[in-house]
Structure 1
Amino acid sequence: MKKRTHVEMRLSLFVLVVVVALVAAACSSSGGNTTTTAGDTATTTTAGDTATTTTAGDTATTTTAASIPEMKADFGVDVENKVITIGLLPDLTGVFATLATDMVDGQIVYWDTLNADGGIDGWTVKYLIEDTNYNVEQYLQKYEKIRGEVVALSLSLGSPTTVAALPEMKADNMLTIPLSWYSGWAIPSFDGGVTLEQNSNYCIEAMNILDFINEMGGKTIAIATFPGDYGGDASAGVLKAAEFYGMEVVYDGTGNVIPGQDQTAVIQGIVGSGADWTFLTTNPSIGAEILVGAVQAGYTGLFTGSVPTYDFRLLDSPAGPVYDKVFYQSSYSVGWGVDTPGNDEMMTALAAAYPDRRPSDGFIIGWNEAVTMRKVLETALANGDLTRAGVVAAGNSIETVDFGGTAPNQSYAGTPNEYVQRKTAIWNPDLATYTAAGGANQTMSQDGATTGSLLEKDFFVGAAAAAFDFTEPCWTAG
């Protein structure tokens, strides 16, 4: 644990250039051949009963074979060949490309491993992947491209992008797992019941972070976020929790961090505020620009922020020593190298698929989204209904998704206030731990591989999050 609530230092650096490699690896979208089922009308496949009569002496025995249950299907399902096609709409070339690439690869390995083991009761799950560049217009184009070919989306990256497509998703009954932690995904009146949130959300996460800051003695907060659902939702949680804990927000830069623009005004706002803590909701590279710029300008507070703000690869850059000293990482799941049944299964599969790739916590997030989608498809199959409507109904009936200890279990049954996940964890990026394991030269196949963060506070629910009556999104546009 860092022993102080302010950093007793000034970094006199001539120029500290943050290098965050945006590895936009071209993920293969071919999990095998894609099977397309088009049409607006559900099809039903039925195997009728057969009877066989055998007579031996005076005794007659009649055996009736059990009926194969009817299987309803419409889009993205080939009943005859037992193939289910799902879609992934990630950002592989935009501001979240580095993180998203690992998350997509986590899903690819999950589905390939499952299919190699016989699939889901003999059903093969295939996937279509389209890059959206974290751009609303491109996202809508890519959604339109695959909407007739898939039964559901197991990954949809971005709050603004997914919100933009939500009217079409509702009209299509397209069950979607957002790679986004906007609080609206857990509210049926907002999403029409077609999205399944994963883990907690930006709003409640922020409340838990402020609970941690309160424990650390922090009294004043600066906020700097991207605009839109991502930044607005996190900022709403900060403001609610600040009121709950009696903290003062001394700089509110909600929506002031615009990608591609100069961040000097934001940096000056943070430094001028003298806040004990700064809460960031950005991507990793822009967050690093702000963090390093503020420290260079004399800011002595600590930093934290929403999950997508941090990437362990920052420890490879000149910013690494600064993050080691001033940043605390929020998390929805455990890190690479942590020993749990689910994590061990994931790490074994990823190491077999990519032995020379470096470890990443992003693989865990993608893997767990696939775990959730598998549970949905298993439920729909058991119900005999693989239509889109049937898949949506299956998802909303699930009482427990067990992640094997990689993250708190998830539920989608009941009311939002009952099933919303409120647990998050706090980690401490530790450059010495990361470097000792090999730093950027680590591979997934090596013993002791790590992304370099030490557990500061295990999964918990802070007082503000526990008391929060969750009945609507924390933030909505307009």
Structure 2
Amino acid sequence: MKGPIVNISPVLRGLVVTTALALAATACSTKAPGGDASGGAVKTGQGVTDGTITLGVLSDLSNVFGPLGQTLVQGNELYFKQRNASGGICGRQVKLEIRDHAYNVQTSVSQFSELEPKALGFVQLLGSPIVSALAPKIASTRAVTLPATWSTDWLSKDGLVIVGSAYPVDMINGIQYLLDEKKIKKGDTLGHVYFEGDYGTNALKGSQYAAEKLGLKIKPVQVVPSATDLTAQFNELRSGGDPQAILVSAGPRQTASIAGLAAGSGLKTPILANGPGFDPALLATPVGKTLADNLYVATSYEPFSGGSKQAQTIATQYGTAYPNGKPTNMVNYGYATAEVMGQALDQACKEGDLTRDGLAKAMRSLNKVETGVMPALDLSDAAKFPSTSSYINRVDLKAKGGLVVAKEPFTSDLTASFTG
């Protein structure tokens, strides 16, 4: 039974419907190209036929993280379109089945139930509440899933493979950067606006840990995803004295509201956000100039306008594939996660086992994945994040995607002792 269909504009409809990426003209043999180690046929299971490997994508294309989810999907698509054009993976074309859960847990549960029987795994699952709700089903079905969320709560969860550093680690590295750059100093108070749950509450652990070790104070203020006017929360942040910096572990709308309120009150403090808190569309709003002056974004992936060779290559390819696209920094992350899945599929093919168990084993055999837009990733230990390095990005009104690198990926000394 089909999952719920969301009414959206024609521009986005192509993202929501099932996406089939260039199916092979003829059916392929069950033999791996060149054969496996023993020269036998490749063992297959759910989501794999002689000609096709099917992967699921459950994203938010129309709600809290809609613009980010759209470009995350485009990054996934871009990678697999290229792989398909060059012969596919293990003699098969990769097909993406894409659904928009609109950041609704019940919708995502229905969509997972629909897609799971016909997918080998999921190359994207966006949203901390969604991942939390589906984690037991992912474990029981053994469907390897790459969550587009970076909570330490996902460590050691069967089936979940995190790609990148953790929310609290990005926050620790970001606070260290602000201190090193003398944007803040010992003894300062930092306000932290956050979503309750596996995103914001998890990031708050990082800011509180950094504050304890660096002689800072944290004033946490919780918000809900539906809140777009944060006047009450902003006033709470200022009660007892203005904060010397504001941290945001929420969505782009909350970042915009906080920035606008700060500007309106004459408060010119640095704002540090986790990656999901920024959308370049904000730069075309009245708060754009304030964000350009004060916002920093900590991420485990390079921004769309990054200077690396791979980032520039992806940007060029994106412009060709999506001439009317509005890129965000999630393009690079979507491409990188697809690269991780692609390398795991290649390894599973080499081992002659394209079942879910074969893919899981192959994924955990990867101890140095180079994507070109992230630090090297070690996926071999499910109990550890594959990276503890963060890019610190700043707003550039002229850059595509809205961000440029302020500091190349680094790991602060504090992350070594942070256990989550």
- TM-score, with structure 1 as normaliser: 0.78
Which of 65, 71, 86 in structure 1 is aligned with 2:42? 71
Matched, 1:429 2:395: yes
Structure 2: how far apart are the matches of 1:415 and 1:141? 27
- Paired residues of 2:153 and 2:198 also in contact (CA < 8 A): no
1:414 Cα deviation after fit? 3.9
Which of 233, 236, 249 in structure 1 is aligned with 2:202? 233
1:455 Cα deviation after fit? 2.5
- Paired residues of 2:123 and 2:337 also in contact (CA < 8 A): yes
- Paired residues of 2:389 and 2:411 also in contact (CA < 8 A): yes
Corresponding pairs, count: 397
What does residue 387 of structure 1 align with?
Answer: 355
Cα deviation 1:135-188 (Å, max 9, x = unaligned): 111110110110101000000001110111010100000100001111223x21
AA of the residue aligned to 1:83: T
Cα deviation 1:357-383 (Å, max 9, x = unaligned): 344322111111110110111111111
Where 1:93 maps in the other structure, the secondary structure is coil
Structure 2: how far apart are the matches of 1:210 and 1:23? 41
Larger radius of gyration: 1
1:329 Cα deviation after fit? 1.8
Q: Which stretch of structure 1 is more off in the superposition, 451-460 or 394-403?
A: 451-460
What does residue 84 of structure 1 align with?
Answer: 53
Cα deviation 1:298-331 (Å, max 9, x = unaligned): 4332211111101122111111111112211222
Structure 2: how far apart are the matches of 1:357 and 1:176? 26
Which of 153, 156, 172 in structure 1 is aligned with 2:125? 156
1:261 Cα deviation after fit? 6.6
What does residue 19 of structure 2 align with?
Answer: 30
What does residue 260 of structure 2 align with?
Answer: 292
AA of the residue aligned to 1:197: I
1:426 Cα deviation after fit? 1.1
What does residue 467 of structure 1 align with?
Answer: 417
Structure 2: how far apart are the matches of 1:451 and 1:252? 29
- Paired residues of 2:296 and 2:395 also in contact (CA < 8 A): yes
Which of 339, 356, 372 in structure 2 is aligned with 1:371? 339
Q: Which stretch of structure 1 is more off in the superposition, 151-160 or 303-312?
A: 303-312
What does residue 443 of structure 1 align with?
Answer: none
What does residue 212 of structure 1 align with?
Answer: 177
Where 1:378 maps in the other structure, the secondary structure is helix
AA of the residue aligned to 1:453: L
AA of the residue aligned to 1:384: G
Cα deviation 1:107-146 (Å, max 9, x = unaligned): 1121112101111242211110011111111110110110
1:74 Cα deviation after fit? 1.5
Cα deviation 1:370-422 (Å, max 9, x = unaligned): 10110111111111111111111111121111112x110111114735x5311
1:268 Cα deviation after fit? 0.5
What does residue 16 of structure 1 align with?
Answer: none
Structure 2: how far apart are the matches of 1:34 and 1:110? 15
1:427 Cα deviation after fit? 1.7
Structure 2: how far apart are the matches of 1:322 and 1:344? 27
Structure 1: how far apart are the matches of 2:321 and 2:346? 25
| Structure 2 CA distance for partners of 1:358 and 1:33, relative to 1, 3 Å | closer
Where 1:213 maps in the other structure, the secondary structure is helix
| Structure 2 CA distance for partners of 1:381 and 1:213, relative to 1, 3 Å | same
Which of 63, 66, 69 in structure 2 is aligned with 1:97? 66
What does residue 198 of structure 1 align with?
Answer: 163
- Paired residues of 1:31 and 1:112 also in contact (CA < 8 A): no
1:106-145 equivalences under 5 Å are 106-145=75-114
Structure 2: how far apart are the matches of 1:414 and 1:104? 27
Structure 2: how far apart are the matches of 1:107 and 1:459? 23
Structure 1: how far apart are the matches of 2:31 and 2:400? 51
Structure 2: how far apart are the matches of 1:24 and 1:132? 17
Matched, 1:170 2:139: yes
Segments of 5+ residues of structure 2 without an aligned counterpart are 1-8
Segments of 5+ residues of structure 1 without an aligned counterpart are 1-21, 36-43, 48-65, 435-448
Q: Percent identity?
A: 26
Taking only aligned residues, the RMSD between alpha carbons, in angstroms, comes to 2.4
AA of the residue aligned to 1:248: K
Moved over 6 A (4+): 44-47
